[in-house]
């Protein structure tokens, strides 16, 4: 398990909120699709925005794991080598 860096978590949360178009507070365990109404297209937007933000490449196979902020952080951290 990667150690969570608070500044990175905050930024990833912002990127997620912007890309799945959510304007309410949500927990790190809140599910994007089931609880926030996101669809697969929005999740690709999230993946793409994270790649651009950190100049990394996230394998498309990782997309199904990105179900909430916590797992998205882990996927990003693994791709970035944090």
Partner 1 sequence: MSTAAVTPAASLPPETLVITGWSAVSPHGVTRQAFAAGVRGGAKTAVKADVALGTLPSPNVCTVPDFDIPGLLGAKGTAKMDRLTALTLVASDGLLLDAEGNKAVRTDEATGVVLGISMGSLENMTDLLRQSYTNALPFHVDAGRIPFGSLNHAAGACAIRHDLKGPNTTVAGGRVSGLLALNYARRLMSQGRATKYLAGSVEEFSAIHAWFEYTALAAGDPSPLLGEGCGLFLVEHAGAAERPALAAVLSIETGVDIDDDPRAAVTGCVRRALNRAGVTADEVWAAVPCAAPTSAGRAESEALAALVPADALSRVPSMELLGDTSAASASFQIQAVLGVAEADPTSSGRIALVSAVDRDGAVGCAVLRLLGEHA
Q: Which residues bind partner 1 (CB under 8 A)?
A: 18-19, 21, 23, 42, 44-45, 48-49, 51-52, 55, 57
CB of 11 vs partner 1, minimal distance in Å: 16
Residue 1 CB, nearest approach to partner 1 (Å): 27
Closest CB to partner 1 among 3 and 55?
55
The token pair at 10 is 């905050």
* 18 membership: H or E segment, kind and range: helix 6-19
56 burial class (0-12, 13-18, 19+ CB within 10 angstroms)? middle
């Amino acid at each position: 398990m990667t150690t969570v860096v608070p500044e990175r978590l905050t930024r990833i949360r912002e990127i997620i909120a912007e890309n799945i178009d959510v304007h309410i507070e949500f927990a790190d365990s809140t599910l994007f699709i089931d609880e926030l109404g996101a669809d697969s297209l929005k999740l690709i937007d999230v993946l793409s925005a994270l790649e651009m933000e950190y100049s990394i490449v996230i394998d498309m196979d990782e997309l199904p794991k990105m179900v909430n902020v916590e797992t998205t952080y882990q996927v990003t951290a693994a791709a970035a080598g944090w």
